[in-house]
Amino acid sequence: MSGFSSKRRILLAATAALAVSTALAACGKKELAFQGSDITGTQLGRDLDMIDDSGKPRTLADYKGKVAVVFFGFTQCPDVCPTAMAELSETMDLLGSDASKVQVLMVSVDPARDTPEVLSAYVKAFNPSFVGLTGTPEQLGKTAKSFKAYYAKSPGGTADQYGMDHASSFYILDQDGEARVLVSGNTSAKDIASDIRQLL
């Protein structure tokens, strides 16, 4: 009888362990191993409030349901921005059919020169699905502060030939608009695609 009780205890313990593991699996709690820095819980970007390249006001709520990749740059940037945008274009190619679940957003740090028309032509030259965001200096200031993104005007040869210093990281937000990953601007398209796939 004691042998039966022992076997019964083992069976009950195994059943309980299986129930717990099944419950955890049902919660959808999978371990994520990002190539970039995990910024989950920082709430970065919550105050994004800009104008898109078609002239419409945009907030993060407009991109809910898609993984958003946000980059701060400007159209007259000589090297960093075109390189970054080309990398994001390659990322979309690597994602294949999943690319339709991703929205790349380039926030202009040079709203004085980057009108919606100028910005639209620039971002869509890299990928037709890319969206450029511009706005007033106040809108840019609020949005950049929300992402803790640095930018500053740097003097040029004339008043109109200035440059813009800016951070070159990519912010990846999940389908609920929560900031999840901060990726260095020199990260490969393969690694960016890997981090995006984990959020799809």
pLDDT at 127: 97
* CATH code, domain carrying 94: 3.40.30.10
Tally of domains within the chain: 2
Confirm if 52 and 197 have CB atoms less than 8 A apart: no
pLDDT at 7: 52
106 plus 52 within the same structural domain: yes
**What whole-number distance in Å separates Cα of residue 59 and Cα of residue 42?**
18
92 plus 176 within the same structural domain: yes
- Structure pTM? 0.82
5 plus 79 within the same structural domain: no
pLDDT at 20: 42
10 plus 86 within the same structural domain: no
17 plus 95 within the same structural domain: no
76 plus 164 within the same structural domain: yes
26 plus 42 within the same structural domain: no
Q: Is 27 among the annotated ligand-binding positions?
A: no
Q: At what angle do helices 116-126 and 80-95 cross, to 10 degrees?
A: 50
109 plus 14 within the same structural domain: no
Q: 99-131 in b/e burial notation, b at 16+ Cβ within 10 A?
A: beebbbbbbbbbbeebbbebbbebbeebbeebb
Q: How far is CA 133 from the centre of its chain?
A: 14
160 plus 70 within the same structural domain: yes
186 plus 119 within the same structural domain: yes
**What whole-number distance in Å separates Cα of residue 118 and Cα of residue 173?**
26
pLDDT at 30: 62
Q: What is the mean pLDDT of each run of 10 residues along the chain (200 residues)?
A: 49 45 47 90 96 94 97 93 95 97 97 95 97 96 95 80 88 97 93 96
24 plus 50 within the same structural domain: no
43 plus 21 within the same structural domain: no
**What whole-number distance in Å separates Cα of residue 67 and Cα of residue 47?**
17
| Full domain range(s) for residue 24 | 1-30
pLDDT at 10: 47
pLDDT at 29: 54
pLDDT at 25: 44
